[in-house]
Structure formats: C-alpha cells, structure tokens
Amino acid sequence: MAALKIFSAEFKASCGTVEQFLKPTLPEVAIVGRSNVGKSSTINCLVNHKGLAKVGKTPGKTQTINFFQITTSGPKFMLVDLPGYGFAKVPDRVRVLWAPLIETFFKTRENLRGVIMLVDSRRVQDSDQEMMAWVNRLNIPIILVATKADKVPRGKRQEATRQLQEGLGVDEVPIFLSAYTGEGKHQVLGQLRELLAI
C-alpha cells in the first residue's frame, strides 16, 4: 500500500491531566518510546515539520500528552505524543503521575487506532518489554519502529532484528527508521495508512 502523504501538522493541546484530554473527534494514533529514543525527532521526520515536537538533549523532556492534528492524503487524524518512559531524569512525583495518565489514555480513547512504538535499534530495555506487553494485553495494534537506524550498518540489520524480536518477545519485524536520513519513513507512513483504514 502506498505511503500516506502528510500535508500539514498542527499542535492542538498539551494535557497533564485526564480532564484536559481533547474530545476524541478524529482517529488517533499514539506514539510511545523510552526516554531519549528519538521520539520528537521521529515525529518531526514523519510529518515533515522540523520544529513541531520539541527536541531536547535531556531525557524526559515530554512530561505531558501532546495532541497534533495531521492532515493527510487520506483521513485527518490526531497523532498523540505520550511521555517517554524509562530512565527520564524527572522528579518522582511527576513520574508517578505518568503511568495512570497513559493507562487512562489507552483504556478510554475509543478513537485510538493503534500505537507507533519506538525502540532503539541497538538495544532493548526492560521498560520496552513492559510497554510492549502492556499494549499487547490491551489488544491495540502496534507499528514497531527501530529508531537511529543510521547507527546500525546494513550488514548488521538481520542480527539487530533478531535481538529486537527476542528482547521484545515478538515475531513482528521492526521498521528501521532514521530521522536523520529519512530511511524507513515511507514504510512507517505506509503502515500508518493501513492502520487508519481499519
């Protein structure tokens, strides 16, 4: 299936509490990943907008759920950026609030079509395993994306794929994506089109 063409991306809201969530009027796709996996860079790459999601050098910069309205060659949809998990250098009181916020989002958004899950192409962490298992338990479709692909030579991709699959406990072959070179972007957008067609 052809890749989805992105025409525009617009920031809509930043929500720190469940009460602030936008009403679910459009199909929604959430994007999740460990802190410092390159989530903001991936968003900017996919939607052709360098400054849409703020890229920070400090892990855990995203501490709220951010909604972006995306206009495409297919349906409009909401891309929802969830806080990074894992080793974020944020206060414990903030981190404690994240889990119920994300859990409520996953369990209550009837318009949620799926999740783009980002993992570092070079290593799987325990927190990645936990997130994958959690999303699978909720029966939410997943697009698995291995970020920072430019750091893994093509000759080592097969081994990297095997390690990611074993580490996450899945059979799905990840899409290797580089926000730096654009490699894998069209594959992700192709799967996104299929997800939105459900």
pLDDT at 53 over 90: no
**Predicted local distance difference test score (pLDDT) of residue 60:** 45
**Predicted local distance difference test score (pLDDT) of residue 81:** 93
Tokens matching residue 121: 């192409």
All structural domains of the chain, each given as residue ranges with its CATH number in brackets, are 6-196 (3.40.50.300)
Residues present in the chain in total: 198
pLDDT at 49 over 80: no
Q: Which of 63-67, 87-91, 105-109 has the highest mean pLDDT?
A: 105-109
pTM of the model as a whole: 0.89
Predicted confidence (pLDDT) per residue in 134-157, tens digit: 899 999 999 999 999 999 999 999
